[in-house]
């Protein structure tokens, strides 16, 4: 896809496409999915594409997705007139239209045929490249679909049992579904070598916080107790724990920051320790965490 005479935005689009699709397709077979958020059939097809791509990863198959609303120039180059539109791309060129393969068996049959005809570089005897699948799982989880994310991470765990990021993602996806017991079992199943990984530690923190989720009506009672006794640190901490467990992270952070401002040394710095645990569970790179850390710094050093 030539970039001569293109605008800056169009050149950036071409570069993204080259990085995400063309370069990987030099050795792998890329399933290229054109989709959009508002497209119901696209969302119905996505789990099929993800499942098959995961199963065929060791055969050299990758999945790349192009949002037609965000990448209109790329969609126009492929003359996409309706979605979902799905192509197989090899060495930078479309080699098959997979759009008609709406079922898992149909898609596998078409891929099997292509893999017989093309010199696709299959995964070697070592671990397959699961980075694209991990990125996909994180994107799906961030989008709020815990069930799909859990399925993706579980497939990666099956493919690469010692992958710490996949285990951690599975635990967090299960927590997003409210399946605390299943998340606890998934965490217990993490291999010893991976259990010390930072991603798994983050998942462990998230699980510990999830266990603080209040029963029905409990949060309101803890809120009332905290409001009635603003100087009662135990009541404030109990309310902050329950608020975060109930998904009210802004409230939890606000309560903990007030506690730190009032008495940072209380109970050997328990409020600060709880806030840092929340940061670890969410991820230090998260924008929300960055904002709360600035507030904490202002209290501690301002």
Spatial distance between the Cα atoms of 171 and 153, rounded to a whole number of angstroms? 9
* pLDDT, tens digit, 9 for 90 and up, residues 10-44: 888 888 899 889 998 999 999 999 999 999 999 89
Helix, coil or strand: residue 25: helix
Q: Is 285 labeled as catalytic in the residue annotation? A: no
Does position 124 have pLDDT exceeding 60, yes or no?
Answer: no
Does position 176 have pLDDT exceeding 90, yes or no?
Answer: no
The catalytically annotated residue of 22, 31, 39, 206 is 39
User: H or E element: which one contains 180?
Assistant: helix 180-188
pLDDT at 296: 95
Q: Is 39 labeled as catalytic in the residue annotation? A: yes
Q: What is the mean pLDDT of residues 173-200?
A: 90
* Separation of CA 297 from chain center: 28
Least confident window among 159-173, 179-193, 204-218:
204-218
Does position 126 have pLDDT exceeding 50, yes or no?
Answer: no
**88 neighbors 30 (Cβ within 8 angstroms):** yes
Does position 266 have pLDDT exceeding 70, yes or no?
Answer: yes
User: For the whole model, what pTM was predicted?
Assistant: 0.56
Most confident of 109-123, 211-225, 254-268: 254-268
The catalytically annotated residue of 13, 30, 31, 42 is 42
């Amino acid at each position: 896809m030539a970039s001569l005479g293109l605008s800056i935005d169009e050149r950036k689009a071409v570069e993204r496409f080259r990085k995400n699709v063309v370069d990987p397709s030099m050795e792998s077979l890329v399933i290229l999915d054109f989709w959009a958020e508002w497209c119901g059939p696209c969302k119905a097809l996505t789990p099929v594409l993800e499942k098959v791509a995961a199963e065929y990863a060791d055969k050299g198959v990758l999945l790349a997705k192009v949002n037609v609303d965000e990448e209109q120039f790329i969609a126009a180059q492929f003359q996409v007139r309706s979605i979902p539109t799905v192509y197989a791309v090899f060495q930078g060129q479309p080699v098959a239209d997979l759009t008609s393969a709406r079922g898992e068996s149909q898609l596998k049959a078409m891929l099997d045929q292509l893999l017989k005809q093309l010199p696709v570089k299959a995964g070697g005897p070592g671990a397959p490249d699961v980075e694209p699948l991990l990125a996909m799982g994180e994107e799906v989880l961030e989008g709020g679909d815990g069930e799909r994310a859990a399925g993706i991470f579980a497939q990666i765990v099956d493919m690469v049992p010692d992958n710490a990021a996949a285990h951690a993602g599975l635990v967090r996806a299960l927590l997003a579904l409210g399946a605390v017991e299943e998340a606890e079992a998934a965490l217990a199943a993490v291999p010893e070598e991976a259990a010390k990984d930072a991603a798994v530690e983050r998942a462990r923190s998230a699980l510990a916080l999830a266990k603080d989720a209040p029963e029905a009506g409990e949060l309101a009672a803890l809120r009332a107790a905290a409001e009635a006794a603003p100087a009662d640190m135990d009541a404030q901490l109990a309310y902050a724990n329950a608020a975060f467990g109930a998904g009210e992270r802004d409230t939890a952070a606000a309560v903990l920051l007030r506690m730190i401002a009032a008495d940072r040394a209380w109970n050997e710095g328990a409020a600060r320790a709880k806030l840092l645990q929340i940061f670890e569970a969410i991820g230090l790179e998260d924008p929300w965490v960055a904002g709360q850390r600035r507030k904490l710094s202002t209290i501690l050093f301002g």
